[in-house]
Amino acid sequence: MPDPLLDDLPDGVIVADAAGRVVALSRVAAAMLDVDPEAAPGRPLGEVLRLQDQDGRDWLGCNTPYDGLATRTGVPEQSWLLPDGTEVLVTASIRRPSLAVPVERVGIVLRSGRGRARLDRERSDLVATVAHELRSPLTGVKGFVQVMLNRWDRLTDEQKKLMLTTVAADSDRLTRLIAELLDVARIDTGRLQLHVRPIDAATLTGRVVDAALASGQGEVDLNADADLPSLGADPDKFTQVLTNLVENGVRHGEGPVRVRLEAAEHGGEPGVRITVDDQGEGIPAELRRTVFTKFWKNGARGGSGLGLYVVHGLVRAHGGTIVIDDAPGGGARIQVWWPASDLG
């Protein structure tokens, strides 16, 4: 008989006993395998779990869950084909009462392969985005370097300086994009490493604003309260967050970007609230839930579509929060609350 508890699970589940016979089968698994859920219990696992790979081999014969080392506890996720040719992702757990006795239970989970197809599409989107974003600065670097190599003696010092300045700016853009891509991978896999220590938020934010002004990106105003608490942050990641927010405001705004830092509590914990206001078109309320997803873009002003995804991941990794609202004078307001340092 089908187990009602297993039927509540979104994935298909099969449980076999020490003799390799099915003792429980969820209705989801029965539908996937095209078997009668009432008749499956008591049948050999191999007759019910009719999965094959591209070479026609069956799951049970390839993975032999009842054999092998006594320390074996499971079978990692693998891609297999159902009787109708649909891809499913299959994992298994192997249960023994102790290392000295045979396998007592084998539990197998079947999950639709559509999730993997979605991931494949995301990877394709990422490759396309990276190729597009890398092409522009690389073209600029290669073009100016080639001109300097071919016409060095005929270029004035001012022309050389302009070309080298452009090459340096494009190189910085490439460096930031590569760092962004690495952080996306680390956030996705849970491998983001932070080197947290007390930082002065006003000083680091001031450097970000000065860099934006020096590059001629646009007008940025900074207003920081006195006596802000020290924040607990990886200084490089904090700078990356502020750089992304400021550049995003400049890219999508029409006037000055205003940055404000003030002491603020969140949930009773001390910290600093960072507000970045631009004067662009703003972000409609119905779109704000998607802003921090990968490849989200607003308008036609370029960008990889990864910046705010990385910002969200870095802020959350530090224990902070980030929200989007309307700026008082029109445009978008992004507010980040960052917790104070507890390192003394």
Amino acid 122: pLDDT: 66
Token readout for 211 is: 């860099």
Phi, psi of 52 (to 5 degrees): -135, 155
**Delimiting residues of CATH 1.10.287.130 domain(s) in the chain:** 117-189
Task: Count the Cβ atoms, other than its own, within 10 Å of residue 43.
Answer: 16
Output the pTM of the full model: 0.59
Contact 59, 51 (CB under 8 A): yes
Task: Give the residue ranges of the chain where pLDDT is below 50.
Answer: 300
Provide the pLDDT for residue 234. Answer: 93
Task: Give just the sign of the alpha carbon dihedral 315, 321, 322, 327.
Answer: negative
Which pLDDT belongs to residue 272? Answer: 96
Q: What angle do CA 154, 159, 160 make, to 5 degrees?
A: 80
Q: Classify domain 117-189 by CATH number.
A: 1.10.287.130
All CATH 3.30.450.20 domain ranges of the chain, comma separated, are 4-112
Tokens 């591209």 belong to which residue?
Answer: 54
The residue written with tokens 């298994």 in the block is 92
Which residue type occupies 255?
G
Look at the domain 197-339 and name its fold. Answer: Heat Shock Protein 90 (3.30.565)
Q: What was the pLDDT predicted at 277?
A: 92
Question: Where in the chain is CATH 3.30.565.10?
Answer: 197-339
Query: The tokens of 30 are what?
Result: 């029965």
Give residue 137's pLDDT: 82
Residue type, 50: R
In sequence order, which ranges of the chain are alpha helices (DSSP H)? 4-7, 27-33, 45-48, 59-63, 114-151, 157-189, 201-214, 235-252, 307-317
Tokens describing residue 91: 């994992």
What's the confidence (pLDDT) of residue 85? 82
Q: What is the pLDDT of residue 269?
A: 92
CA angle in degrees (0–180, nearest 5) for 90-91-94: 140
Q: What is the pLDDT of residue 54?
A: 80
Say what the pLDDT of residue 298 is: 62
Q: What is the CATH number of domain 4-112?
A: 3.30.450.20
Cα(16)–Cα(275) distance, rounded to whole angstroms?
57
**Which tokens hold the place of 76?**
């990692």
Nearest Cα residue to 325 out of 337, 315, 313, 335: 335
Which residues 6+ apart lie within 8 Å of 339 measured at CB? 231, 232, 266, 269, 270, 271, 318, 319, 320
